[in-house]
Amino acid sequence: MKFDYDLFVIGGGSGGVRAARLASAEAKARVALAEEDRMGGTCVIRGCVPKKLMVFASGYHGHIEDARAFGWRQARSGKFDWPFFHAKLRAELDRLEGIYRETLKKAGVTVYNNRATLVDAHTVMLDDGRRFTAKHILVAVGGHPFKPDMKGAKHAITSNEVFLLDELPKSILIVGGGYIACEFACILNGLGVEVTQIYRGAQILRGFDGEARGHVAELIRERGVNLHVGTDILEIREGDDGFWVKTTDGGHRTYGQVLFATGRVPNTAGLGLENVGIEPGRRGEIPVDDYSQTSVPSIFAVGDVTNRINLTPVAIREGAAFVDTVFHGNPTKPDHELVASAIFTQPEMGTVGLSEEDAREQEPIEVYCNSFRAMQTGFAGRDDRVMMKLVVSQKTRKVLGCHIVSEQAGELIQLAAIALKMGATKEDFDRTVAVHPTMAEELVTMKTPVRTA
């Protein structure tokens, strides 16, 4: 059978674009890609990139206050100009989207600005009725924010809409305790918004190291986020002066805005999975094997739609591994072991490997941990405390997990991840001479475990 394309990619996010580009430019395959929204996906348009730019913006108020403590007495922050920043943000996203499109064009990929759905194992249909056949189909449609089914939920926004606000509210209620909720709580607090955050669980950042997330919770409270755990939302009503919210602790209050950051779900609704016999998972994800292949041999899936590790660099690796497997004849499993991540709260949290809780269920461990005031913030009179933590196997002496809470923790954890990936032991850390004076030197100077388990 002659196909229109060797590969048809559904979705123009990081994973789909990487796979399309590599298959076309390097494997010389005939490739098409369909994207119904803006090119770049969640990360570039409504996720990592705009969020990190907002993180930068939100940190300057604190930097200016610190500058005064260091002698720059005339430094003044004033009021944040959201319209000015927002215009620059939109321009930057337009620039990045243009780069994505140009990259695909140079690689020889045919792009359709349409929604595409699955018709059968080798056929896709665009929303304008056109149909195309392909030897292989790659689904890379990502996910979207989830809103709970409750009274008045329609009045709330999600992380997608934060970047579209014409003006910042004076106050906001953020519902959720994951990294997105915590990041936006810190961002908006830093931009001058009165922030209340509620989470139904016992502690924010579920799934991360317990000591580290407790440290983050304490510090973001100290910075002004009104954080309440063990609390959920019951109802939202729109009023003349904002949105009235009732919570399970008996409280009620009016806020300028309400933001749900209660998780994300894969974009599989209406994708046509039933047409090809793919049964989605419990959260709507597409089940795949170690090579990103679905139960239909010609259809593969990468990125958040598979709900494996929902991080942009992982999706990119999965897309590249797919091309190696299918178009280069080199079966390649994307490596999901020891993937580092950073939560861009203020201060940040960086983590790689096992939490203390997971590690002690696996084997006997030693824990090395210290919390201290960093030189810069201490001199400025801030009470922020850095936390450095290593989780070590008693038997093999390998460092099983590294957890950092500090300014620039995302930058630090990237380097620590290399050491863990190489199988570094605690003694390898101990043999490394410290760089002084730095925060990171604590990682190689902690000699005595604080506890064993």
* Residues catalogued as catalytic: 436
Question: What six digits make up the tokens of 88?
Answer: 């620059």
**Selection from 91, 263, 76, 99 nearest residue 175 by Cα:** 263
Positive or negative, the CA dihedral 84, 85, 90, 92 is: positive
C-alpha span between 76 and 356 (Å, rounded): 42
In angstroms, rounded to a whole number, what is the distance separating the alpha carbons of residues 229 and 289? 37
Report the DSSP beta bridge partners of residue 123: 120, 133
Q: How far apart are CA 320 and CA 17, in angstroms?
A: 10
What whole-number distance in Å separates Cα of residue 333 and Cα of residue 353?
19
Name the nearest CA neighbour of 10 among 414, 378, 305: 305
